[in-house]
A and B are shown apart, each in its own frame.
Chain A
Amino acid sequence: MKKLKGIMLIDDDDTNNFLNQRLLNRMQITEKIKEFRNGKQAFDFLYNISAGHYEVTSPEYFKPALILLDINMPVMNGFEFLSLFEKLDADFRKDIVLALLSTSEHSQDTERAAASKIAYITKPLTTQKVQDLLDAHFQNQEA
């Protein structure tokens, strides 16, 4: 399987980011993983990339193929991030897969995710869950 261009982990829980990054690293599905502590940090990053405001040569800047998004976060939560993300250029967004990653099994949250047509994964993230997601969204990209 071809490796993903990059993954963004957006979660205010440091340890959760650490564990997810460890899991993804061990699965060896990408070279680039970047962590963000809330929706605003992540959106600023994405916005700069979409607008071309970045150093092309810098390994710190990359356009992600997958974004794993927590719901409850300070400053800007997952759904607020989502509504801003949907305002970005459609061409820019079309090859980015978004998945909500949350402890909440509340129907209010799952219904909202379904309304936005994005994947909803309950924590903890496991190899199996990541694999299911990849199978669902990245099958076609295999070279």
Chain B
Amino acid sequence: MGEFLIVTAYVLVAGFLFYLAFRREDRERKWVMALFGMIALMGGAVHGLNFWNYGAGGETFHILRLVFGAVALVGAFLLFRAITGLMAIPGLRQLQKANEELQEQLKERENAQLELREAHQALEDRVQRSSAQAITANRELERQIENRKRAEKQLISKNYELIKKNADLDDFVYYASRDLKGPVLNVAGLVEAIREELPPGNPEFAQLFDRLDDSVSSIHRKLNNLAEVSRIQKPVEDAQMSMVSFDHVLQQVKENLATVIQAAQAHLQADFSAAPAVYFSRDNLYSLLLNLISNSIKYREPQRPLLISLSTSLQDQYLVLKVQDNGIGIDLEQYGQHLFSLFRRFHDHVEGSGVGLYIIKRVMDNNRGKVEVESVPGEGTTFLLYFVNHDQETGPRI
């Protein structure tokens, strides 16, 4: 009876163990449970044999017991082998601890993640803020550009207006001077006719006619100056440009001014060897020399003989014409800034119209050149005219 109970217990235990082994998920324990189950089963089997054949001996019986015992022993041996594996299997406390640690790590990770998310949010906020700023700045810029464009457009149209007004003004001066010429000539003609019709020998009349003649010729001269100014305003056409010899033009000027040069006993000396010709409009070069030389004659120093020296030289990209006199000079500090203004005069002891230097400046400006003036009051004046040096048109120089 005792045997029977033990067998039952063994088999039950083995059953439990096998069940457990079947249910366990980790391999280590499944294996261990299975081994225990096997040993228990073997134990149960031996006891079962004892119970079955109590007191009976026999060959088979012994062999079976031996086999069961051997199997149990093998199981025990295998168990021993598995011990190291079993040691590695953490205990519950260890597991709890590990679990806690894991939980903590998890928490930390969550915290880190939270921080990360916050940082990300902050970053995103910043990006959004700065992109909003960028958009505002961009809009501001666009507005400024729009404003500038508008201003530029206004400038262009203003500039166009100015150009048009300037052209109108030039036209006005030209047509006014042309249309007034006729009536002035008529007056002169009528004065002459009256003089012819009147009986001669009346000194009163003679004086009146002299004054009339003076006035009429003064109007006439002024109109001619105006016409000259309006002519100079217009840009020179390419067809009028050519290589012009300084010597030739100077000769022409000398012929035209022969009487005044003679009267003033002016001595002119010229040396154009450094640059004998310039690519320019002949009319304009004539106008330049005529105005410069007649200026020197007008503003000469009566105490000494007038000497006017003309020369050319090459300076960087310029061809420089120098016209120097020993006249009365001009106080540049006082008058310099108005020197080239239209209708400005700084002397009243001689006849003048106030257009000569203006014409010189305009001619040089129109041809992308420049004018410089040096003067010492009481000693003389030097004009330097800078012409653009058109080397390609100049050809070989002698």
Contacts and interface: CB of A to CB of B under 8 A. Distances in A.
Contact of B178 (A15, A103, A124): A103
A124 B193 contact: no
Given A19-B193, A22-B193, A13 B178 contact: no
**Which applies to chain A's interface (DSSP): helix, strand, loop or mixed?**
loop
A103 B180 CA distance: 10
* Range class of the B interface residue count: 10 to 19
Contacts of A72: 178
Contact of B189 (A103, A105, A106, A124): A124
Nearest to B223: A103
Contact of A19 (B186, B227, B231): B186
Contact of A124 (B188, B227, B231): B188
Contacts of B178: 72, 103-104, 106
Contacts of B185: 16, 103, 123-124
Nearest to A11: B182
A57 B182 CA distance: 37
Nearest to A14: B186
A16 B193 contact: no
Interface in B171-201: 178, 181-183, 185-186, 188-190, 193
B188 A15 contact: no
A96 to B, nearest CB: 25
A15 B181 contact: no
Interface in B188-245: 188-190, 193, 227, 231
Interface string A80-114: 00000000000000000000000111100000000
Contact of A13 (B182, B188, B193, B227): B182
B341 to A, nearest CB: 26
B186 A103 contact: no
B193 A123 contact: no
Interface in A7-56: 13, 15-16, 19, 22
A15 B191 CA distance: 12
Nearest to A19: B189
Contact of B190 (A13, A15, A104, A105): A15
A113 B114 CA distance: 100
**Which applies to chain B's interface (DSSP): helix, strand, loop or mixed?**
helix
A16 B182 contact: yes
A105 B193 CA distance: 25
Contact of B186 (A15, A104, A105, A106): A15
B303 to A, nearest CB: 39
A103 B188 CA distance: 13
Contacts of A105: 227
Nearest to A124: B185
Contact of B182 (A22, A103, A106): A103
B228 to A, nearest CB: 10
A104 B181 CA distance: 9
Select the residue from B182, B185, B190, B231 with max chain A CB neighbours within 10 A.
B182
A105 B185 CA distance: 14
A103 B190 CA distance: 16
Nearest to B184: A103
Contacts of B231: 106
A101 to B, nearest CB: 11
A93 B375 CA distance: 62
A74 B178 CA distance: 15
Contacts of A123: 181-182, 185
A104 B227 CA distance: 10
B225 to A, nearest CB: 13
Contacts of A16: 182, 185-186, 189
B193 A103 contact: no
A110 B186 CA distance: 22
B173 to A, nearest CB: 13
Interface in B336-386: none
A105 B223 CA distance: 12
Nearest to A13: B182
A105 B227 CA distance: 9
B10 to A, nearest CB: 142
6 contacts: A13-B182, A13-B186, A15-B190, A22-B193, A103-B181, A106-B231
Given A15-B189, A103-B185, 6 more contacts: A16-B186, A19-B189, A19-B193, A72-B178, A123-B185, A124-B188
Identify the 10 closest CB pairs spanning chains A and B, nearest first: A103-B181, A19-B189, A15-B186, A124-B185, A123-B185, A103-B182, A124-B189, A13-B182, A16-B186, A104-B178
